[in-house]
Amino acid sequence: MKNLFSEFKNFRPKRREIPLDNIITSKEKVMQTLIKSYNKLVEQEAKELVWLVSYHSVIRAYASAEKSIKNMEYGVEDIEEFLFEIEDSSKLPYPIMGLSGIYTAALCNHAKEREIVFDLRNRNITLHLLGYRLPEGKKLLVYGDLGDFTGIGLNGGEIWVEGNTGNWTGAGMKRGKMVIKKNVGRRTGEDMVGGEIYVEGKILGIGNIRYGRVYEKGEIVSL
């Protein structure tokens, strides 16, 4: 019987490539790695998809996150894209905002760039724990609102939020600077041991501040 496909015997596909193809391919690889390691973190830390914030769980989760992203090559754009992936439920069906925040914090802390800008306005995402242990020399600028525990354990870096933050902002921060352009929630600066928090809007409640300063609309409110 005649070969059914004989007319295509000599066909060789012409795949015209443009630089966009390589950019997308390499970017997809990085994203796959990031998502894979995030999923692994969720598997390890979240029991039945529930993760409760506590002093120890945060430390543990951060350590796991650091371990998983060690030796990974990525940039700020990859982190931004990861934040988009969190929003898209088809890629990440069970995003846990707390763990996402910790993971993002680990990524930011270990990124090559010194200044990191996120635009979270009109986004379907509320990140908690962003800015955890941000080290000195790093600046994190966020447009939009953040969730709870923003900048906890700040370790010398700068966090600027052009929006609101939730409760426990700057809790346990050691040193560094936080500027929140709008309002913050309760227990602000709880257990902070250094650094400064500038709030240009309202503070719903001050936490138990050991050392460091909290300013509300330019006036110091911490004792």
The least distance separating other proteins from the CB of residue 28, rounded to whole angstroms, comes to 8
Task: Give dist(CA 104, CA 65) in Å, integer.
Answer: 9
Residue 113 as a binder of other proteins (CB under 8 A): the answer is no
Residues binding other proteins: number (CB under 8 A): 28
* Binding test (CB under 8 A) with other proteins, winner from 36, 55, 73, 84: 84
Residue 47 as a binder of other proteins (CB under 8 A): the answer is no
Residue 81 as a binder of other proteins (CB under 8 A): the answer is yes
Q: Which is nearer to other proteins, 32 or 208 (CB)?
A: 32
- What Å distances lie between residue 212 and 15, 175, 182, 221, CA to CA? 61, 8, 20, 11
- What Å distances lie between residue 191 and 74, 175, 180, CA to CA? 33, 12, 19
Residue 5 as a binder of other proteins (CB under 8 A): the answer is yes
Calculate the CA dihedral of residues 163, 166, 167, 170 and round it to 10 degrees: -40
Contact 30, 70 (CB under 8 A): no
The least distance separating other proteins from the CB of residue 114, rounded to whole angstroms, comes to 14
Task: Give dist(CA 96, CA 125) in Å, integer.
Answer: 10
Q: Which stretch binds other proteins (CB under 8 A): 2-10, 155-163, 176-184, 186-194?
A: 2-10
- Over the window 9 to 38, marking each residue x when it contacts other proteins by CB under 8 A and - when it does not, the resulting string is x-xxxxxxxxxxx-xx--x-----------
Calculate the CA dihedral of residues 105, 110, 113, 115 and round it to 10 degrees: 30
The least distance separating other proteins from the CB of residue 124, rounded to whole angstroms, comes to 8
Q: Which is nearer to other proteins, 77 or 136 (CB)?
A: 77
Task: Give dist(CA 77, CA 73) in Å, integer.
Answer: 12
Chain Cα centroid distance, residue 137? 17
Binding interface with other proteins (CB under 8 A): 3-9, 11-21, 23-24, 27, 77, 80-81, 84, 88, 119, 122
